[in-house]
Amino acid sequence: MRLIILEDASVVADWAARFVLQRIKEFAPGPGRHFVLGLPTGGTPLGMYRRLIDFYREGKVSFKYVTTFNMDEYVGLPRDHPESYHYYMWHEFFKHVDISPEHAHVLDGTAEDLAAECQRFERLIEEAGGVHLFVGGIGPDGHIAFNEPGSSLVSRTRVKTLAYDTLEANKRFFDNDISKVPSKALTVGVGTVMDAKEVMILITGAHKALALSKAIEEGVNHMWTVSAFQQHAQALFVCDEDATLELRVKTVKYFKSLMGEHNKLIEDHS
Ligand code: F6R
């Protein structure tokens, strides 16, 4: 596991976008050879999307041969609802780059048969050859995607009932009215994300400091589902200083001493 500690959320956004850029470039996608990218929504990755849009506009990257899979979607929100993750992805990222809509997969939370929709999504990931890089975010309770505390660490894409903490955290998007937050979501499983070749988790803010310490300094535990990534061969946690507040000084010092190595991951060799 790598822990990349950066000054603040804007540096995290820039670093994460450069990492995605390098991975896509190194893969050299083309016809019949798509780079497969897993993506989150939420506040944390917004800056990364903005930087990726900049890189696209500067001609540094194309998404023509990139296939994406989003982590999750609320149940019952139509895709044109401003709080649906379809809407978020389209407005915050997809419409600004050259990705083909048919390659940008978001779970359909309005499907008649939600279980079948989840199976279809897993099948699509398999048919795409698996995810090369899954980018994720976590909640203050350590959930990754909508894998709430207590979720199986080998779970696959499925319907989940959201935890009270998640409803509380997300009510800010629904007029601060918790009763308006959908209580269920479709989400990739921890196992689905674990199958990706590489996983990059973005964590910013003091409110996520406990989750980060549970994720990396204690044992694998289904009450902090993000801790599962201790058992992933290629996992990176990219965080800001505030998110390190609950870590041991020794942990912070060690990973900071590796920054020279970590920054090689975002060097442009072209
Ligand atoms: C979003 C997702 C969630 C969020 C998490 C943090 O697709 O899967 O795990 O990443 O709830 O959300 P923010 O970034 O808004 O704090």
pLDDT, tens digit, 9 for 90 and up, residues 147-205? 999 999 999 999 999 989 889 988 999 999 999 999 999 999 999 999 999 999 999 99
Indicate which residue's Cα is closest to atom 11 of ligand 1.
Answer: 139
- Rounded Cα distance, 197 and 117, in Å: 24
Query: Is 93's pLDDT higher than 90?
Result: yes
* Contact assessment for residue 178 and residue 168, using Cβ atoms and an 8 Å cutoff: yes
Dist. CA 143 → ligand 1 center (Å): 8
This prediction has a pTM of: 0.97
Give the burial string for 129-164 (b: 16+ CB within 10 Å, else e): eebbbbbbbbbbbbbbbbbbbebebebbbbbbebbe
Cα separation values, 64 from 30, 52, 124, Å: 8, 14, 18
Find the residues whose C-beta lies inside 6 A of ligand 1: 40-44, 71-72, 137-139, 143-145
Indicate which residue's Cα is closest to atom 12 of ligand 1.
Answer: 42
Dist. CA 166 → ligand 1 center (Å): 9
Among 12, 85, 92, 138, say which to mutate for ligand 1: greatest number of ligand atoms within 8 Å of CB.
138
In sign, the C-alpha dihedral spanning 203, 205, 207, 210 is positive
pLDDT of residue 29: 98
Cα separation values, 153 from 146, 224, 227, Å: 12, 10, 9
What is the overall mean pLDDT for the chain? 97
Dist. CA 172 → ligand 1 center (Å): 13
Dist. CA 234 → ligand 1 center (Å): 21
For the CA of 166, the nearest atom of ligand 1: 11
Dist. CA 124 → ligand 1 center (Å): 23
Main-chain dihedrals φ then ψ at residue 179, nearest 5 degrees:
-70, -15
pLDDT band at 66 (very low <50, low <70, confident <90, very high): very high
Indicate which residue's Cα is closest to atom 9 of ligand 1.
Answer: 145
Query: Is 249's pLDDT higher than 90?
Result: yes
**What residues act catalytically?**
72, 141, 143, 148
pLDDT of residue 101: 97
Query: Is 120's pLDDT higher than 80?
Result: yes
For the CA of 137, the nearest atom of ligand 1: 10
Structure tokens, 48: 């990364």
